[in-house]
Amino acid sequence: MGGPIPLETWEVAAAGGLVVLNAILSFRFRLGQETAWLIAGARTAAQLSLMGLVLHFIFGQEQLWLTALAATIMLAFAGREVMARQARRLPWWQGYGIGVGAMLFASFTVTILALNTVVRPDPWYAPWVALPLLGMIMGNTMTGTALALNTLTETLYRDRRAIEARLALGHSFTDAARPAMRHAMRTGLMPIINAMSAAGVVSLPGMMTGQILAGADVGTATRYQILIMFLIAGGTGLGVIAAAFGGSRLLSDNRDRLRLDRLSLLDDKSVAQSTGNTREDDTR
C-alpha cells in the first residue's frame, strides 16, 4: 500500500474555490452568509496552518505542561464558539461558563479515560495522541452543546406562556421546562446520531479516511474509527446533557420563575429567518 499523496499549496487553494462558490451562491440567494463563508474559510486555512506549526513544536517536546496548555487553549476557543452564534444569548460570562464547563466535563473526561484504558500511549499524555483525540471529541461536543443551548433558549422563549401557565398552576420549573429541555437534548444529539448511522454506508469518517490516505492498514483504520466514533458519542452526550441542565438553571431562579430577561437577542432578522416567525411584542 502506498504512502500519503503529496499536496501542493495551489491544489489546496483550488479546493478553497468551493468555499468562494458557496459565498457567491449565498449572495445570489440573499442568504446573508457570504461574509461568514469567506471569513470561515480564511480562518480554517490560517488556524490549521498555525496549529500545524504549534503541534510540530509540542510533539517534539513531549511535556505534560505543554500538552495541558494546548488543551486549555483549545477549550477556551471552543467555549467562545459555543456562544458566538446563539440567537438568544445568555449573559456572556454565564453562557461562556456553561459552554466551557460542559466541554470540560465531557471532552476531558472521555479523553483521559480513553488515554488510560483503551489507547494507552507511553506516556499517557503523549501529545501526538492526546491532542488529536481531544480535538475530535471536543469539536463534536462543541457542535452538540451549541445546538442544545440555542434550541433551549429559543424553545423557552417560544413556549414561555405555556411554561408560565404551568408554573402558575404550581409546577416546579424543572417540570414546566422539561419538554423544552428534551427538545434541546434531542437536537444537540442529532448530528452525532446521524454521523454514527451513516458511517460506513453513506460516508467514510475523517480519521479513517486520513489513515487510509496515509497508507495505514484498512482494518486498523476501521477499528480506530469505530473507537473514535464511540468516544465522540460519549463526549457529545455528556456535553449536551450538561449544557441543557446548566442553561435551564440559569434561566430560572430560586423561586422557580422563568427568567427570560437574562437573555439578549442577537439579531431580530436572523432569529425571524431561523424560526420562520417574527418576534412577538413582549408588551402585549
Whether residues 152 and 180 share a domain: the answer is yes
Task: Give the domain extent around 255.
Answer: 63-275
- pLDDT (0 to 100) of residue 3: 60
265 sits in which H/E element: strand 264-265
Q: pLDDT over 90 for what percent of the chain?
A: 63
- pLDDT (0 to 100) of residue 283: 35
- The band of 266, judged by pLDDT with boundaries at 50, 70 and 90, is low
195 sits in which H/E element: helix 173-198
Average pLDDT over residues 33-53: 94
Does some domain include residue 221?
A: yes
Does some domain include residue 281?
A: no
Q: How do 264-265 and 88-89 pair as beta strands?
A: antiparallel
Average pLDDT over residues 230-235: 94
Nearby residues of 234 by Cβ (< 8 Å), 6 or more positions away: 106, 110
Whether residues 53 and 167 share a domain: the answer is no
22-40 confidence digits (pLDDT tens): 999 999 999 999 999 999 9
- pLDDT (0 to 100) of residue 270: 42
Whether residues 28 and 107 share a domain: the answer is no
> Measuring CA to CA, which residue among 197, 205, 67 is closest to residue 139?
205
Counting the structural domains of the chain, the total is 2
The HSE-up count of residue 258 (CA atoms within 13 Å, CB side) is 24
- pLDDT (0 to 100) of residue 268: 44
Average pLDDT over residues 36-50: 94
- pLDDT (0 to 100) of residue 1: 54
Whether residues 119 and 41 share a domain: the answer is no
- The band of 218, judged by pLDDT with boundaries at 50, 70 and 90, is confident
- pLDDT (0 to 100) of residue 29: 95
118-146 confidence digits (pLDDT tens): 999 999 999 999 999 999 999 999 999 99
User: Above 90 in pLDDT, residue 6?
Assistant: no
141-194 confidence digits (pLDDT tens): 999 999 999 999 999 999 999 999 999 999 999 999 999 999 999 999 999 999
Whether residues 105 and 182 share a domain: the answer is yes
Does some domain include residue 280?
A: no
Whether residues 49 and 78 share a domain: the answer is no
- The band of 48, judged by pLDDT with boundaries at 50, 70 and 90, is very high
The cell numbers describing 174, all together, are 424543572
Asked if residue 121 lies in contact with residue 67, where contact means CB atoms within 8 angstroms, the answer is no
Residue 113 CA to residue 243 CA, distance in Å, equals 21
